[in-house]
């Protein structure tokens, strides 16, 4: 899979993707991830990419010229073009799974007050938000989305089973609490059932605890 990120801050987008699991997946050729500086498509000598809002209002907007040129240069016939914006659909694990089946993603990062609507109308296939808060720029959100997608690609995680067991694989339940050794740490004990080796009872305990945790932390998931 190929992911291209178009942003004014390529270093911000790439920094979290240059370590650990995603770094190894990239080195293994499981995913090709590149970041491109929108300023390279600016037209004037000051390399401007933003301008004031038509009709007035606070802040600046990314203007259509550089974005049209950059997106047209970077997209191919199979590309899904995504815009990171707090106005988008909220990114969830199911969407990560769906997008992990695409051949090529071009992730466009908003900045300032966002992008000119004509870019969205003409060139964007999907507007995505990573949550109900406002970041300083979409490069952070693009890194989040890229991480969530690349780790799902076959071979990215060492243990091929691990994406199935985790929170949000069952869309309605969080993961159960987890423990490692020692069994007694400062008098704090690992729940006994986990030390029994009794798989059925352990599975039943995990299910119950997952439900309890979901009720406490994310009652919205239970509907």
The site for ligand ADE (CB under 6 A) is made up of 84-86, 110, 129-131, 133-135, 138, 141
| Least Cβ distance, residue 51 to ligand ADE (angstroms) | 19
27 versus 132: smaller Cβ distance to ligand ADE: 132
Least distance between ligand ADE and beta carbon 133 (Å): 5
**Residue 126 Cβ, how far from ligand ADE at the closest point, in Å?**
12
Q: How far is the CB of 81 from ligand ADE (least distance, A)?
A: 15
Going from the C-alpha of 130 to that of each of 10, 49, 86, 110, 219, the distances in angstroms are 18, 24, 7, 13, 20
85 or 100: whose CB is closer to ligand ADE? 85
Determine how many CB atoms are found less than 10 A away from the CB of residue 122.
13
- Alpha-carbon distance of 205 to 113, in angstroms, equals 48
**Chain CA centroid to CA 27, Å:** 20
Q: CB of 138 within 8 A of CB of 37?
A: no
Nearer to ligand ADE, 96 or 173 (CB): 96
Separation of alpha carbons 19 and 26, rounded Å: 10
CA distances to 113, 116, 120, 132 from 58, rounded to whole Å, are 8, 14, 20, 20
User: To the nearest whole angstrom, how small is the minimum distance from the Cβ of residue 18 to ligand ADE?
Assistant: 21
- In the complex with ligand ADE, which residue's Cβ is closer, 133 or 200? 133
Does residue 65 contact residue 97 with C-beta atoms inside 8 Å? no
Within its chain, how far is the Cα of 169 from the centroid? 15
Nearest distance from residue 85's CB to ligand ADE, in Å? 5
Closest CA to 111 of 67, 145, 79, 71: 67
What residue number has its CB nearest to ligand ADE? 141
């Amino acid at each position: 899979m190929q992911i291209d990120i178009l942003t004014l801050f390529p270093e911000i987008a790439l920094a979290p993707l240059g370590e650990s699991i995603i770094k190894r997946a990239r080195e293994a050729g499981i995913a090709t991830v590149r970041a491109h500086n929108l300023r390279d498509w600016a037209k004037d000598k000051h390399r401007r990419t933003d301008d004031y809002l038509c009709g007035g209002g606070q802040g600046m907007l990314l203007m259509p010229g550089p974005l049209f040129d950059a997106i047209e240069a970077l997209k191919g016939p199979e590309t899904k073009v995504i815009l990171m914006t707090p106005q988008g659909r909220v990114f969830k694990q199911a969407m990560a799974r769906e997008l992990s089946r695409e051949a090529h993603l071009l992730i466009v990062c908003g900045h300032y007050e966002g992008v000119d609507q004509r870019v969205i109308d003409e060139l964007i296939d999907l507007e995505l938000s990573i949550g109900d808060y406002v970041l300083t720029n979409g490069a952070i959100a693009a890194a989040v989305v890229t991480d969530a997608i690349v780790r799902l690609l076959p071979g990215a995680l060492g243990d091929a089973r691990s994406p199935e067991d985790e929170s949000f694989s069952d869309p309605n339940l969080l993961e159960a609490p987890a423990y490692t050794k020692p069994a007694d740490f400062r008098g704090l004990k690992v729940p006994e059932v986990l030390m029994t080796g009794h798989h059925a009872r352990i599975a039943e305990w995990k299910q119950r605890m997952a439900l309890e945790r979901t009720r406490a932390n994310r009652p919205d998931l239970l509907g």
